[in-house]
Structure formats: structure tokens, C-alpha cells
Amino acid sequence: MSKTPITIARGDGIGPEIMDATLAILEAAGAQIEPTFIDIGKKVYESGNSTGITDEAWASLRSTGIFLKAPITTPQGGGYKSVNVTLRKSFGLFSNVRPVRTYQPFVNSKHDAIDMVIVRENEEDLYAGMEYRQTHDACHSLKVLSRAGSELICRYAFEYAKANGRKKVTCLVKDNIMKISDGLFHKVFDLIGEDYPEIEKEAIIVDIGMALVADKPENFDVLVTLNLYGDIVSDIASQIAGSVGLAGSMNIGHSCAMFEAVHGSAPDIAGKGIANPSGLLNGAILMLHHIGQNDIAVKIENAWLYTLENGEHTGDIAKDKSKALSTKEFGEAVIRNLGKKPNSLKVAAEEDFKQMRMPTHAERTLSVRNKELVGVDVFLEWEGGSPKDLGEKLAEITPSDMDFNLLANRGMKVYPMVNDDVEIIGDSWCCRFRGKDGHTKNESIQQLLANISDANIDWVKVENLYTFDSERGFSLLQGE
């Protein structure tokens, strides 16, 4: 078998320790890989490169398209962009797949029978990383969701479920509050779900959904959700399953795939040689399946399961801490056990791994939309008096073909006043204007902005208000 070129980053913190143990196991098992090692992360940030990724690293990743990555430390503050987020977005790694299982009675866990797969949208949502300080007091963070992106991840989740004989897909959203963004994801989930009649579907509000994952994880099979919720729920799931040190994950795109552990660089235990390499090893097992080396993947997984059954554990999961193995010793135990199979835990088999169909964007076509500009929200920084003072001033300078509708403070209508008790906080205001006769045009908005500037009021952001086939494309403000 010819060797598959792959790119490897040894990472930060515990990264090099767990990568060395993982690679030793891959080599002993006969994995046919040809690695190129790249530097990304802390060392690169500290050399003055704020992306954390060198040109050589980009070149290697473009050439191999397969990346085994140890965790990276993202320095807090200082304008550094997360390497993980940059890689996921640069290579279109739209799907983050995180299988979570329990290994009782060999690894203590809060529940008996967890066997779920979290499919997390990986490129959009609040991880678009578009944040703005708009006024002295207020900042905004953009939650960006697209219909195409939502469709791709929902279809991926159903295709994954279908290929792997999974029975149910659960969607987690917060569309009782975020009716337009999370509402879009929910609608797309329902629509795509119609193409998979054999699979049970459910959509749950994310807060109770996470509580249920923590309380009754056995009720979940495949979960599909937005980037931020997926990040949180996968940590909850892996923690209640035993340790964050156990679970691996894959980030899948159309031309590149990245495999890693779900946990981070664990600076608190770095350099001590005690980290559990299992998360990264499970990431590497997913990689071997992805590159078609199912026999090696299965051999390693069975040796690893046997090692867990045999009570050979690192400190994070050891029942008797005095007998805990180091990272290296645990790796050596797995190597010694290559060729063995677990006695009680489910034996991994090559036929369990099914190739799935990769979905493409927009397999369901969008119906033609009549998009109409009906108004505008203008955000202001202003501390010149009461909402009434500002409201009356804005009403005076509104162009004749527009109506000044209302003024809101943190999303709550404060003028015309509905309730004198509403507490006004900060210096950020949203002013809603609508076109007379139900529509407006860019020229009117430009005139409005010029009038606001002439009145010495600082406008900081503009959001156009549209309807799509008469359906409102913006939320009503509280009290509107």
C-alpha cells in the first residue's frame, strides 16, 4: 500500500507529549502515512505572526489535505486569531463531528450508556469573529448564519446518521428568542429532514436540550447544532462520559479534513508527562478511516479498548491514582496490546465503518424571493438627554418620505414611551425608520444619515430592513 501524505502539528502545552504517544502507536500498528511536520500556534504567534500559521504550514496543508493536529494554545487578547477557527474557515471544514461514548465499568462516568455523535456547524454563527465596539459603552458581536451553510450541515448530519445506522437526529436551537437566525436553521433542518423519512427527527430548545444531554444522554443519538451550542454541548457530553481527555473529533470539508482531540492544550499539566493521549489517538483513528486504512484503525481501536478494560489508565481516569500510567507508558501499553480485542466493550470491526455521501451546497433550490427595502435601523451613540429629547429631535429631521417609528435601548422600545419605568442604560440607541407606503430607497436612507450628521448626532451603524415575499426579514423590537 502506498503511503498517504499527511500534515502533522505537535501543538502547544500537552500537544507534543500526546502526539509522540499517538504517533508511536500509529507506527507500531503499521499505519501507512508519510508525515510532514509543521509549526503552528504559540511559537508562531510569538514570532510576530498574528495568524499563528506559517507560509510553509499553509503550503503543506494545501498539498496533503489531511491534518492531524495536537491542541494549540490561543493567547488571550492581543489581537491573535484562533488558529483552530482560521483553519476551519480557510479550508471550508464545515462539519465538526464528535463521537462521545462511555466505557463503563472500566472508566467511571456519570451515566451508563452514552453513545452519541455531535455534528457541529463549524464556520458560521458567533465564530464568524466579527465583533465591534460601537460606542464608549456598547459592543456588538455578529451572529452570521447562511441558508446554504445550515443546509450543508443538516444534510451532513442526516447522511452521517443514514450511513452509520443511527436512528434519530436531534437539532438544538434557540429559535424561541432568535427567530430569524436560529429559526432559519430549524426550518432548514425540517426541510432537509423530509428527504430522510426513515430517520426520527426532533428539535429542542438548546437550554433544556443541554440539560437533557447532561441528565439523560442515553436519549440522544446524532445531534446537529450551531457552532457555539455545539462547542458547549460536546464538552458537556465528553465530560459526563468520563473525561475530556478521551474524545476525538474530525473537521470535514470538501477538499481537506482535520483530526484532533476535543480538549485543549491543558497548560495546567503540560510538561508533566501525565496527559491522556486517548483523545488525539481517537482523532487519529478517525483519520485512518478517512484515508481508507480501516484495518489499521480497527486494530488500534481494539488495542486501546483492551487497554482500558485491562485497567491501564492515565491519571485523569485511573480509579487507583497511585497506579496511574504516564502518557508514554499508556502509549506503550496500547502498543503491547496491538492484536488483542476487548472482552466486554464492543469490538471495533471494519464493516462498522461506512463511507457516507458528502453533501454539496444547496441541493434544495431556493424559491424566488421578492426582496424589498422597507426601512432602516440607525444605531447612534448619544448621551445628550432623555429618550424624549432624542426622539423629538429625530422626528424633526426625518426625511418627508420616511416615518420615524421608535427608539430602542438594548433592544427595548423607549420612545414613544410605553413604560416610564424602563431603565435606560448606556449610550447606544437603535432608531427605527420605515418608508412611507411600506417601502423606501437608498437615497432616502442617505438623506436621513446626512440629516443625523448635520444634527451633530454620531451614527455608528446602519442595518437595512427588508421583506422577502412580504415576510419580515428583521425582528420587532421589544415593545414595538
Q: For binding to ligand NAI (CB under 6 A), which residues are involved?
A: 14, 18, 71-74, 84, 244-245, 260, 263-269, 275-276, 279, 316
Which among 252, 369, 263, 359 has a CA at the least distance from the CA of 316? 263
In angstroms, give the least distance from the CB of 109 to ligand NAI: 15
The long-range contacts involving 23-27, CB below 8 angstroms and separated by at least 24 positions, are 24/331, 24/332, 24/335, 25/281, 25/284, 25/300, 25/303, 25/331, 25/334, 25/335, 25/338, 26/284, 26/288, 26/296, 26/300
End-to-end distance of the chain based on CA atoms, in angstroms?
Answer: 67
Task: Identify the residue whose cell numbers are 484515508.
Answer: 291
User: Are 193 and 201 in contact, with CB atoms under 8 Å apart?
Assistant: yes
Task: Identify the residue whose cell numbers are 430522510.
Answer: 196
In angstroms, give the least distance from the CB of 105 to ligand NAI: 20
CB nearer ligand NAI, residue 230 or residue 399:
230
CB nearer ligand NAI, residue 57 or residue 414:
57
Task: Identify the residue whose cell numbers are 464556520.
Answer: 123
CB nearer ligand NAI, residue 138 or residue 246:
246
User: Are 51 and 83 in contact, with CB atoms under 8 Å apart?
Assistant: yes
Which residue's CB comes closest to ligand NAI? 264
Cα torsion angle, 236, 239, 244, 249, sign: negative
In angstroms, give the least distance from the CB of 378 to ligand NAI: 37
Cα R_g (the chain), whole angstroms: 26
Task: Identify the residue whose cell numbers are 431603565.
Answer: 423
CB nearer ligand NAI, residue 217 or residue 279:
279
457: part of which helix (H) or strand (E)? none
CB nearer ligand NAI, residue 319 or residue 369:
319
CB nearer ligand NAI, residue 73 or residue 440:
73
In angstroms, give the least distance from the CB of 266 to ligand NAI: 4
CB nearer ligand NAI, residue 245 or residue 435:
245
Cα torsion angle, 150, 477, 127, 250, sign: negative
Distance CA 361, CA 151 (A): 7
In angstroms, give the least distance from the CB of 263 to ligand NAI: 3
For residue 205, list its beta bridge partners: 173
Distance CA 147, CA 306 (A): 44
Distance CA 211, CA 208 (A): 5
Which among 256, 237, 255, 233 has a CA at the least distance from the CA of 247? 237
User: Are 6 and 35 in contact, with CB atoms under 8 Å apart?
Assistant: yes
CB nearer ligand NAI, residue 308 or residue 390:
308
In angstroms, give the least distance from the CB of 52 to ligand NAI: 11
CB nearer ligand NAI, residue 169 or residue 274:
274
In angstroms, give the least distance from the CB of 129 to ligand NAI: 14
Q: Hey, what amino acid is at 85?
A: V
Which among 36, 81, 83 has a CA at the least distance from the CA of 59? 36
In angstroms, give the least distance from the CB of 304 to ligand NAI: 14
Distance CA 301, CA 314 (A): 17
CB nearer ligand NAI, residue 241 or residue 407:
241
CB nearer ligand NAI, residue 265 or residue 440:
265
Per the structure block, which three cell numbers stand in for 112?
Answer: 451508563
